[in-house]
Structure 1
Amino acid sequence: MKKIEAIIRPDVFSDVRKALVKEGIDGLTVTEIAGCGRQEGRTGLFRGNAYEMEFSAKLKLEMVIEDFKVEPIIEAILNHAVTGEVGDGKIFILPVDEAIRIRTRERGAVAVF
């Protein structure tokens, strides 16, 4: 099993979510986060006053999937999260050694899928 963590722009989430559903992903954790990278800060305007925003709002998607689904999921995210601008995000793939469903104590893939 693998865990995919994708950091994306909030405005592309709807399209990414639809693409993940088409790939059979029905379990997903979404967290609102803020961060900075190459896009650096932006200047905002509030009541006529300019201010620096050091961090950009992002969404972090997390899902545990079977190994054979990794590439289709990556392609779905890449195809629907891209805007072509700096700050589109990142995808991280991590190995999952074990999964345990607390309620039933099931272990392994059966605990996730």
Structure 2
Amino acid sequence: HQFAENLSRLKKEHGLKNHQIAELLNVQTRTVAYYMSGETKPDIEKLIRLATYFHLSIDELVGYVQEDKVWNDLSLKQWLLSLNLRSEEEIAKIKILVDTVETLYPN
């Protein structure tokens, strides 16, 4: 139901109504309600439209999170914990750094 939760959150954040999302996807308004309740899921074409509209990847839209290889390294986690990072901002900065290194130096 992660997609349903994400769509509901995005709708609220962007101040959209069901009928506006329905127009974007060329579906009936009740279909959007079904998406948000988790009763049904959109096909790939509609996922692409939504992801493009909200400037997200499809993975982000549907709630798929691929765990990073480096981020899963236990010794790295222990080291990060030893830094006593106090804020989410500090942790996010370290995560961006790790992601960048993984991108530049893939295995």
TM-score where L is the length of structure 2: 0.31
Structure showing the higher helix proportion among its residues: 2
Q: Which entry has the higher C-alpha Rg, 1 or 2?
A: 2
Structure showing the higher strand proportion among its residues: 1
TM-score where L is the length of structure 1: 0.30
